[in-house]
Amino acid sequence: ARTAAVIPAAGRGTRLGPGTPKALRALNGTPMLVHAVRAMAASRAVTLVVVVAPPDGAAEVRTLLDAYPLTGPDRAELLVVPGGASRQESVRLGLKALPEDVGTVLVHDAARPLVPVDVVDAVVAAVRGGAPAVVPALPLADTVKQIAPRPDAAPGTPEPVVGTPERALLRAVQTPQGFDRGTLDAAHEQFAGQHGEEGATDDAGLVERLGTPVVLVPGHEEAFKVTRPLDLVLAEAVLARRRA
């Protein structure tokens, strides 16, 4: 069975500041989404990449990607489909576009353009080795505090602390997250339509709710998510170092 990568790229990226959708912003002259597609296609295992575009932007994204053809060993097939209102909905629409013969699925954020191919390969290997859900993850640098839900509090007001989970037992998770295709399809069907607090911020979170085991493998610093303006500076520095 084939391995495919689904790249949700339908987010607006408002935390990065105003402007074009995040995935289409350039990093050293090349759109972030193009870096992300290349990062998936760099794995010999990946033969299909499905990009999930903004709901009204599939044609535009297709045109953009065609201007950056995949070459060399990276010649995966490329599909572009329209996404939805939430990341979860966008992934679900990407999964629907997969052909029958796909048995392993990676889900990778367009916002993690620099993930090294070794991480991609390690995730694929663990799924092919029998794990239904595999997530790259790193220990935390910062201690994390838990707060109580405060739906009505004004931003910036002091937040009472409820607890401090033991840092050594926490992990920050990245993508690509890898899945047995049937497992991920079942999770997205079961929990389709849930959003906001009910929804999941990652795909493995949905699989956990099915009661299916999820395992972590080592992630990589360079798989960080480009979210805020400083992340753009860091991403361009990483690219410049790679070229040096």
Answer yes or no whether residue 31 interacts with ligand C5P by CB under 6 A.
no
Q: How far, in Å, are 22, 28, 31, 119, 141 from residue 174 at the CA level?
A: 18, 23, 20, 10, 15
Count of positions on this chain that bind ligand C5P (CB under 6 A): 18
| The one segment of 85-93, 95-103, 154-162, 234-242 that binds ligand C5P by CB under 6 A | 85-93
How far is Cα 94 from Cα 40, in angstroms, rounded to an integer? 15
* Residue from 4, 5, 6, 9 in contact with ligand C5P (CB under 6 A): 9
Answer yes or no whether residue 227 interacts with ligand C5P by CB under 6 A.
yes
Q: Which residue has the tokens 């390690």?
A: 122
Give 2 or 225: the residue with its C-beta nearer to ligand C5P: 225
Residue type (1 letter), 126: A
| The one segment of 6-14, 42-50, 66-74, 95-103 that binds ligand C5P by CB under 6 A | 6-14
Q: How far, in Å, are 110, 186, 212, 213 from residue 182 at the CA level?
A: 23, 6, 12, 14
Q: How far is the CB of 9 from ligand C5P (least distance, A)?
A: 5
Strands 146-147 and 30-31: unpaired
Kind and range of the H or E run holding 51: strand 46-53
Residues 6+ apart with CB under 8 A from 117: 39, 42, 43
Answer yes or no whether residue 85 interacts with ligand C5P by CB under 6 A.
yes
Q: How far is the CB of 168 from ligand C5P (least distance, A)?
A: 26
Strands 46-53 and 2-8: parallel
Q: How far is the CB of 48 from ligand C5P (least distance, A)?
A: 18
**Interaction residues for ligand C5P, span 98-157 (CB under 6 A):** 109-111
**Interaction residues for ligand C5P, span 55-84 (CB under 6 A):** 83-84
Which residues make up the interface to ligand C5P (CB under 6 A)? 8-11, 22-23, 52, 83-87, 90, 109-111, 225, 227
